[in-house]
A and B are shown apart, each in its own frame.
Chain A
Amino acid sequence: MTSSHRGTRDRRKGSRSSGAPPWLVALAAVCAAAAAIPLVYLIVRALDAGIAGSVVATLWRPRVLELALNSITLAVAVTGTCLVAGTASAWVLTRVRIPAPGIWILIAALPLAVPSYLAAYGWLVWVPSMNGFWASWLLLSAVCVPYVTLPVAAALRGASGNLHDVARTLGRGPFGAFVSATWPQIRPAAIAGALLVCLYALSDFGLVSLMRYPTLTWGINAAYGASFNRNQAALLALVLVALALAVVTGERSIRGGQDQVAVRGAPPVIPSGRWKLPVAVVLMAAPVLGVLVPVLGLLSRLLEAETLRSIDVPRLLGAVGATLGLAVAGALLATLLALPIAALAARHKSRLVSVIEATGFLGHGLPGIVVGLSLVFFALAVVPALYQSVIVLVFGYAVLFMPKAIGTMRSGIAGVPGSLVEVSRMLGLSPLATWWRVTARLALPSIGVGALLVAISVMKELPATLLLRPTGISTLATELWSRTTVFEFGAAAPYAAALVLVAAVPAVVLSGFRGVSKEDL
């Protein structure tokens, strides 16, 4: 058998065929282009406003530099902390015999369900004087650790324990064996997790603002609020985008690949007495700091008689309604935009398809505040009628959270065997009828899960909502925010509790589903 024959056979066996229908490519390209609007428009705007000439000069203004440095310092510190703490807790979760390991995995994922500003609120209730770098670092780390813990735990479960044993017999100590044998196997997962942490830390707005630590996101909001200097906001946004893109590209180049070896799971270590405390600390630090303390703080305020008496029920219900309505609208639009891209990427492979898919994923690297700001400029300049309308807000959500929908739906659609599609065609069904009766039908659960992930993210989103919401519309997140910034912790409590109920609880439930990547929550 010649190699060319083998090649063609492989192509046939795969469910991907080379020729994508032009209408699907066109449709997917249009959807992806929508996702590119904020970034493209931000750049256009920055160049247009004549900033280009003064960019360098402005960049070296002490204030800009300080904000950028603050952002970088925080992102680096949080990423490093999460890398170490997440790897340690992943190792404990997979390699140490602990009671009820399944429950511990779920607990380890919990901090992801809590929006960062909610964690900050919960802590401020206890310690109103908390502020600055260290507070931001501690809370942000606690909230972000699962981004590393979860993928590394998955990688460790798939990593061979043999290599560790071999390294030990060759004279390495326990730590040396971990570094030389186990770490290379989990490195890609750890670095991918670290990327998510780094992006999260760079784009976080709520937590750092509540902790009064001035980063770029804070600066963007401040400059935008002082509406006479929107060019400054655009410039800061550009700096932030550049940092985020640098992180994404950097991660691509250092992640590397590792050939999988035949796997034999490592037998779990039984912790001896003096190790029990450290093990418990590693497992519980993030959930306690990121979830337990804030939720208790929230409850303590909520259950105070004065709070309960002064709950403005209609206003609360209004915020719940607005939050749910926006979530549904955002999820629908994101799903609609993501569907052609996911369908294309699941079945076809070419350079053009990769470009379209990557464009659809842009929102993944763009901070919410940047998307918000850019869409404000876009609406004002291109479609002034829509400025401060629900349509632009929902569109912003769709751009930001489309990647979650694309990822989930793509794997769902790719999971429908190509042979079923062929059989359906051979039985006389047109491509569209086949898509409807076979592919979509079988991929329906993953399409639903993708939409739910988007809905949950929309409910938690703060900065884009703050920038884009029409006057008079308040979501749970903005209500919580506006009350917390003025230290009305009691008045904020009902909104925080409602947010936990509508967003965090579904997130936890959803994370128990098979095929749901917890990092998407």
Chain B
Amino acid sequence: MKKRDPDLLLFHAPLLRQGMTTPRAMRDVIYALLPATGAALWFFGLSAVLVIGSCIVGAVLAEVTFAKRETRGESLRDATAVLTGLLLGLTLPPGLPMWMAFLGGFVAISLGKVIWGGLGHNLFNPALLGRAFLLATFPIAMTTWAPAAGGFFDVPASNLALPFMQAQVDGVTSATPLGMMKFEQEVTPLANLVFGRTGGSLGETSGLLLLLGGIYLWLRRDLDWRIPVSIVLTVVIFSAALTLVDGERFPSPLFSLFSGGLMLGAIYMATDPVTSPVTPKGAWIFGIGVGVLVILIRVFGGLPEGVMYAILLMNAATPLIDRYTQPRVFGRGVDST
């Protein structure tokens, strides 16, 4: 019995892991977005593919370009570049020129993530940063809403516009429900909002499918349920209060909930773990803050939609929120930060 002893490693306990990994969590979010992406294809046809595809290509290219040479391509495996591109694409108007979408994706990753130090270090949600960049740079294209396509292959000419050439805006532009509410006091029927038969960004039109994906993520424990729940509750309560004050002027709670990017933002963007508070109490504060800002911007601000800025502003407040919401340590008094 003279067998060689095995070469023993000295990994320190715990040796067991729960099995969820960061790339898997990121891929879960992509899977959760597939129904809404499918709806975008259904409503907007090929132009959805072109816009979203351009965003993803831009994001991936930025990730590869700015990686260290030795590890180039490795960071793609955590799927965050694709996810950022997809999320950005879903927030864009369907008729957006492809080159703008590409640029948005590139900026989202380079200025939204890489420059901060890569995954886990950025302060702002990269996809929303990319969108804010596009909105600031191309305000007209970003607020021109092409109507839903007639057939799958009907691509608006603006999609194919060459870089820096002024694209001909299509004759008919359809307004978003929020735009109609704000500028024409016209209310879109709720059923259209829920199922997505409205104008708007690619991914924000179907509240129902977005909710479905959110439930999947919640079941997989990939998202902090406190954030979407607190955003939704705040929006509902705040807008209900406003409706009580003046039902004519202010939108109803359900309208606020299902119009615009609220669902997309509340479920998929505000819950980005990197840019939202890590503490449970902080998540509540963050969600309430987003909800209040959304309504304030929508109702009293100059813009019809406020989800993007609401989330970006609360992103900026996240380190502060975390600092003051550390949990009470077991066996200690309340003020143990």
Q: Do they bind each other? A: no
Q: B-contacting residues of A (Cβ < 8 Å)?
A: none
Q: A-contacting residues of B (Cβ < 8 Å)?
A: none
